[in-house]
């Protein structure tokens, strides 16, 4: 557990309170829906357009975090309503992808972890089985989307947590074995020697040999998409926590060192560390995801090592609160300045439901609550 003192402790207490008040306001306006971004300060609803969209679990995650903090039944009932909407997505099986981890860990699995609800557990296990079925046995990796069987992406380091949970809850080691094989392959092929990370790796589907990489949501081939770096930091430290395999912690630290060395002085990440200096495009979501991972690394390493990671996380979160957060009741989003993808201009500097989620998660961690949904 993180034990802050002095000004940081006071700052976390105040900021967490402001974040919870803001979420209490927004969620009561929003009710049951599958939000992704705000339009004129009001969260949209992906239910009719994209039931299987990868971000559709984050709102439930926010609601379960709030329920865990407050025990207010409004959050439980709303989260269960959101989970009913997600049930439709699980049966649109052909549309599903590797991001079932993001979608069901934060909804049904969080429900089961907190309430012990058996139906929620069943849905989580079904989602874990769907993810396990995406494993390419010859190639040793989890397939990302459905259009290209050779593509695997760094983001899946967060999805493998569903397999670790599935392994424990089905008492079946094959799920964790798949997660470990995927993590090993990703550490070997996606993480470069300097700690920077590729977004998309294309493998030969028959041999598992790396054919090439793609820039994906970052600037281009050879670049360093910051949210991808953040998925790697958080994903690898979580794999360490699930397995005790020290090589995963070392990989998380290596990417963290690269991230800390490259973040700009304002502590709000640009969307790609290797993009041209202009235009300046920020991504607040990369910062808050990285902060969650840095806090977990700080908890996992020796006391004399942890300061580097904890101080970086606090700097990012303080900067995010000051420059990107909206604690008012004028808009529903908690964070601004998220970015979907470098080359997609209409996704620059927008609100993103996962930015809100990870900001809340990081503040709760610093407040001393160690419960992980991952
Ligand atoms: N998982 C996709 C993204 O980070 O945008």
What is the per-residue pLDDT across 156-174, written as a single tens digit (0 to 9) for each? 999 999 999 999 999 999 9
User: What average pLDDT does this structure show over 262-287?
Assistant: 98
By most ligand atoms within 8 Å of CB, the mutation choice from 37, 52, 54, 230 for ligand 1 is 54
Query: Residue 130 pLDDT > 90, yes or no?
Result: yes
pLDDT score for 54: 97
Q: Mean pLDDT, to the nearest integer, of 327-352?
A: 98
How many angstroms separate the CA atoms of 131 and 163, rounded? 7
Instruction: Please write the tens of the pLDDT for every residue from 223-268.
Output: 999 999 999 999 999 999 999 999 999 999 999 999 999 999 999 9
Catalytic (active site) residue 346? no
Task: Report the separation in Å between the CA atom of 155 and the middle of ligand 1, taken as the mean of its atom positions.
Answer: 6
Q: What is the pLDDT of residue 93?
A: 74
Catalytic choice (99, 272, 326, 356): 99
Question: What is the pLDDT, as a whole number, of residue 94?
Answer: 76
- Please tell me the predicted confidence (pLDDT) of residue 4: 94
Residue 16 above 80 pLDDT?
yes
Atom index in ligand 1 nearest the CA of residue 340 equals 5
Predicted confidence (pLDDT) at residue 92 exceeds the cutoff of 80: no
Residue 110's pLDDT is: 98
Q: What contacts 326, CB < 8 A, 6 or more positions away?
A: 22, 333, 334, 335, 336
Band (323; pLDDT cuts 50, 70, 90): very high
The predicted pLDDT at position 39 comes to: 98
Q: What is the pLDDT of residue 90?
A: 87
Contact between 234 and 253 (Cβ < 8 Å): no
pLDDT digits (tens, 9 = 90+) for 180-215: 999 999 999 999 999 999 999 999 999 999 999 999
Ligand 1 atom closest to residue 102's alpha carbon, by position in its atom list: 1
Q: What is the 3-state secondary structure (H, E, C) of the chain?
A: CCCCCHHHHHHHHHHHHHHHHHHHHHHHHHCCCCCCCEECCEECCCCCCCCCCCCCCHHHHHHHHHHHHHCCHHHHHHHHHHHHHHHHHHHCHHHCCCCHHHHHHHHHHHHHHHHCCHHHHHHHHHHHHHHHCCEECCCCEECCCCCCCCEEECCHHHHHHHHHHHHHHHCCHHHHHHHHHHHHHHHHHCECCCCCECCEEEECCCCCCEEEEECCCCCCCCCCEHHHHHHHHHHHHHHHHHHCCHHHHHHHHHHHHHHHHHCCCCCCCECECCCCCCCCCECHHHHHHHHHHHHHHHHHCCHHHHHHHHHHHHHHHHHHHHHCECCCCCCCCCECCECCCCCCHHHCCECCHHHHHHHHHHHHHHCCCCCCCC
Closest ligand 1 atom to residue 54 Cα is: 1
Would the CB of 58 count as within 6 Å of ligand 1? Answer: no
Q: What is the pLDDT of residues 35-73, one digit of tens each?
A: 999 999 999 999 999 999 999 999 999 999 999 999 999
What pLDDT sits at residue 91?
A: 82
Catalytic, out of 44, 117, 155, 171: 155
**Does the model's pTM come out above 0.95?**
yes
């Amino acid at each position: 557990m993180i034990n802050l003192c002095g000004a940081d402790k006071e700052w976390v207490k105040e900021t967490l309170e402001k974040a919870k008040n803001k979420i209490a306001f927004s969620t009561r306006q929003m009710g049951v829906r599958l939000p992704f971004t705000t339009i004129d300060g009001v969260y949209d609803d992906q239910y009719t357009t994209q039931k299987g969209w990868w971000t559709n679990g984050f709102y439930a995650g926010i609601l379960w975090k709030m329920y865990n903090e407050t025990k207010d039944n409004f959050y439980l009932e709303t989260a269960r309503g959101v989970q009913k909407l997600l049930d439709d997505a699980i049966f649109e099986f052909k549309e599903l992808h590797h991001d079932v981890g993001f979608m069901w860990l934060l909804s049904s699995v969080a429900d089961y972890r907190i309430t012990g609800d058996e139906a929620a557990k069943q849905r989580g296990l079904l989602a874990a089985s769907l993810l396990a079925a995406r494993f390419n046995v010859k190639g040793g990796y989890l397939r990302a989307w459905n259009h290209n069987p050779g593509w695997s992406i760094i983001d899946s380091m967060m999805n493998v947590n569903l397999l670790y949970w599935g392994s424990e809850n089905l008492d079946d080691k094959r799920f964790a074995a798949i997660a470990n094989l995927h993590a090993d392959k990703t550490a070997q092929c996606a993480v470069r020697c300097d700690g920077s990370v590729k977004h998309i790796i294309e493998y030969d589907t028959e041999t598992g040999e790396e054919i090439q990489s793609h820039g994906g949501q970052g600037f281009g081939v050879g670049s360093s998409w910051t949210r991808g770096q953040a998925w790697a930091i958080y994903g690898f430290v979580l794999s360490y926590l699930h397995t005790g395999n020290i090589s995963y912690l070392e990989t998380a630290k290596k990417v963290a060192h690269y991230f800390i060395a490259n973040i700009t002085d304002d502590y709000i990440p640009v969307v790609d560390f290797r993009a041209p200096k202009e235009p300046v495009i920020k991504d607040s979501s990369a910062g808050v995801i990285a902060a969650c991972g840095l806090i977990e690394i700080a908890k996992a390493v020796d006391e004399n090592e942890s300061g580097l990671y904890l101080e970086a996380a606090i700097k990012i979160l303080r900067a995010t609160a000051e420059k990107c957060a909206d604690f008012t009741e004028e808009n529903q989003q908690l964070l601004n300045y998220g970015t979907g993808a470098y080359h997609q201009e209409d996704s620059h500097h927008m609100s993103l439901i996962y930015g809100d989620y990870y900001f809340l998660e990081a503040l709760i961690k610093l407040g001393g609550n160690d419960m992980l949904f991952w």
